[in-house]
Homo-oligomer: A and B are copies of this chain.
Amino acid sequence: MHLYGYYRSSAAYRVRIALNLKGLDYDMTSVHLRDGNQFDPDYVKLNPQAQVPTLVLDDGTPLVQSPAILEYLEEVHPEPALLPADTMGRYRVRALAAVPGCDIHPIGNLRVLKHIQQTYGQDMAAAGQWAKHWIELGYTGLERMLADSSETGRFCHGDTPTLADIFLMPQMYNAIRFGVDMGQFPNIQRINDANMELDAVQKAYPDNQPDFEPA
Chain A residues packing against B (C-beta within 8 Å): 44, 48-51, 61, 63-69, 71-72, 75-76, 87-88, 90-92, 94-95, 97-99, 101-103, 105-107, 112, 115-116, 119-120, 122, 130, 133, 138, 140-142, 144-145, 148
Residues in B neighbouring A144, C-beta threshold 8 A: 44, 48-49
Q: How far is the CB of A85 from chain B (nearest CB, A)?
A: 12
Q: How far is the CB of A81 from chain B (nearest CB, A)?
A: 15
Assess whether B141 is in contact with A49, with CB atoms less than 8 Å apart. yes
Assess whether B99 is in contact with A102, with CB atoms less than 8 Å apart. no
Contact partner of A65 among B65, B95, B112, CB < 8 A?
A: B95
In this complex, what residue of B is CB-closest to A94? B68
Contact partner of A103 among B49, B91, B99, B141, CB < 8 A?
A: B49
Q: How far is the CB of A190 from chain B (nearest CB, A)?
A: 18
Contact partner of A71 among B64, B69, B90, B116, CB < 8 A?
A: B90
Residues in B neighbouring A99, C-beta threshold 8 A: 49, 65
| Identical copies of this chain, number | 2
Which 7 residue pairs spanning A and B have beta carbons closest together?
A: A49-B141, A48-B144, A68-B94, A68-B95, A106-B106, A65-B95, A65-B98
A187 and B133 CA atoms in complex are apart in Å by: 36
Contact partner of A75 among B50, B87, B105, B120, CB < 8 A?
A: B87
Query: Given A48-B145, A49-B141, A107-B106: A68 and B120 within 8 A (CB)?
Result: no
Assess whether B91 is in contact with A72, with CB atoms less than 8 Å apart. yes
Assess whether B106 is in contact with A67, with CB atoms less than 8 Å apart. no
Contact partner of A107 among B88, B91, B107, B133, CB < 8 A?
A: B107
Q: How far is the CB of A178 from chain B (nearest CB, A)?
A: 15
A60 and B61 CA atoms in complex are apart in Å by: 43
A-B contact pairs, 10 of them (CB 8 A): A48-B144, A49-B99, A63-B95, A65-B98, A69-B95, A101-B102, A102-B106, A107-B112, A115-B133, A116-B120
